[in-house]
Amino acid sequence: MIQVEGLTKLFGPVLAVDDITFQVSQGEIVGFLGPNGAGKTTTMRILTSYLPATSGRVRVAGHDVLTESMEVRRSIGYLPESVPLYPEMRVEEYLDYRCKLKGVDRKQRQGRIDYCLDHCRIREVRRRLIGTLSKGYRQRVGLADTLVHDPAILILDEPTAGLDPLQIRETLTLIRELGDKHTILLSTHILSEVEAVCRRVIIISAGQIGLDKKMSELAAEATVIQLEVRGPAEQVANMLRATDGVSYVAPQVLADGIVAFEIRTQQNRDLRESISQRIAKNGWVIRQLDLRRRKLEDHFIDVVMRDDGAHAGAKSASRTPSLQAPVASFPVTGQNERPIG
């Protein structure tokens, strides 16, 4: 439904989007993740034909964004981050106006408006002036506006920005429901939202795509066993490597005689019990034994930090992520490692 090839956008000398390529198929809910200033809004504006690309090709719903922008606009519903609405109009009046602008047939108009009022739960405020509504309601009105002509694709720019936790949950539920019938591309920098709603995630940082994977693939990635032991580093490491099923061991010496290990196992087997038994047999003391899946947050920090390193070489040494556990995107060897950043 959405095909982006080699998209680049320059605002004068500023490279906002740098040669990105991705696809969104029909029926997918894709989370467009990235720090502020990464190029998410710019990409979305290019997709909705509001801005032109400097180079690259973008096709939305089978139409080229540059040459067939009218057809593109008929097939998308776009909600900008600031949810701009006319404060002097009433909700129902505004939806009626947008219906007519988008060419919804007169016989279906009332039905569509009723559907949007019910689904976005703004029926109670339908006679209120938009200027008197709270942020959550304005967001819902904006969302209703995107749905009113039943588009195939929804492009939502930070749809939960500024909402309270209950409203966030309700909005995400609504988006998940809409995902059954529409293709949704939503941008955000709140990871829990993406984990809750999206089936695929694209992480963009400094104008480049760092990660483009399905959530199921990410969940199936290697689990890591965190181990902290009081004992001799070399011997413990050798013992661990000799354990059946262990594929990789990374030791790190901490203060006061504790050694931390990051252990990867074959086929993601949970070997915590056998490891703890063997350590106890050898008389060493376990301070921590934990099984960790790499969270989306870890991927996110990886992508952002990796790009930071690529773009700001000299500064990388001074940058450390403030996390408890050492995180590494590549296997690290040797002592005194720092995460590659």
DSSP H/E element including 251: strand 246-253
Q: Shortest distance, CB of residue 197 to other proteins, whole angstroms? A: 16
Q: Which is nearer to other proteins, 177 or 234 (CB)?
A: 177
For other proteins, give the closer residue by CB, 105 or 273: 105
Instruction: State the maximum Cα–Cα separation within the chain, in Å, rounded to a whole number.
Output: 81
Q: Which residues make up the interface to other proteins (CB under 8 A)?
A: 11, 45, 48-52, 70, 73-74, 76, 78, 80, 82, 84-86, 88-89, 97-98, 100-103, 106, 109-110, 118, 121, 124-125, 128, 133-134, 136-137, 145, 166, 170, 177
Rounded to a whole number of angstroms, the minimum distance from the CB of residue 216 to other proteins is 25
CB of 80 to other proteins, least distance (A): 5
Q: Which is nearer to other proteins, 162 or 326 (CB)?
A: 162
CA separation for the pair 34, 13 (Å, rounded): 21
Q: Minimum CB separation from other proteins for residue 42, in Å? A: 12
Half-sphere exposure (Cβ direction) of 57: Cα atoms closer than 13 Å: 6
> Closest separation between CB of residue 76 and other proteins, Å?
7
Name the residue nearer to other proteins (CB basis): 71 or 228: 71
Considering only CA atoms, which of 264, 244, 204 is closest in space to residue 33? 204
Tokens describing residue 262: 């990051």
Closest to other proteins by CB, 137 vs 261, is 137
For the chain, where are the alpha helices, taking DSSP H only?
Answer: 40-47, 69-75, 91-101, 106-119, 135-147, 165-178, 191-197, 215-219, 233-242, 272-282, 296-311
Spatial separation of the C-alpha atoms in residues 196 and 185, rounded to whole Å: 14
DSSP secondary structure code for residue 129 in this structure: B
Structure-token pair, residue 37 = 């200033």
| 46 versus 201: smaller Cβ distance to other proteins | 46
Minimum gap (Å) between residue 143 Cβ and other proteins: 12
Which tokens is 214 given? 């399905």
Query: Is residue 288 classed exposed, middle or buried when 0-12, 13-18 and 19+ CB atoms within 10 A define those classes?
Result: exposed
CB of 86 to other proteins, least distance (A): 6
* Helix extents (H) in 90-228: 91-101, 106-119, 135-147, 165-178, 191-197, 215-219
State which residue, 118 or 270, has the beta carbon closest to other proteins: 118
Toward other proteins, which CB reaches closer, 7 or 76?
76
CB closer to other proteins, 63 vs 306: 63
H or E element, residue 259: strand 258-265
CA distance 229 to 173: 44
d(Cα 262, Cα 249) in Å, to the nearest integer? Answer: 6
Shortest Å distance, C-beta 107 to other proteins:
9
Minimum distance, C-beta of residue 175 to other proteins, in the bound complex (Å)? 13
The residues that bridge with 323 in the sheet, in sequence order, are none
Query: 233-242 and 272-282 helices cross at what angle (nearest 10)?
Result: 140
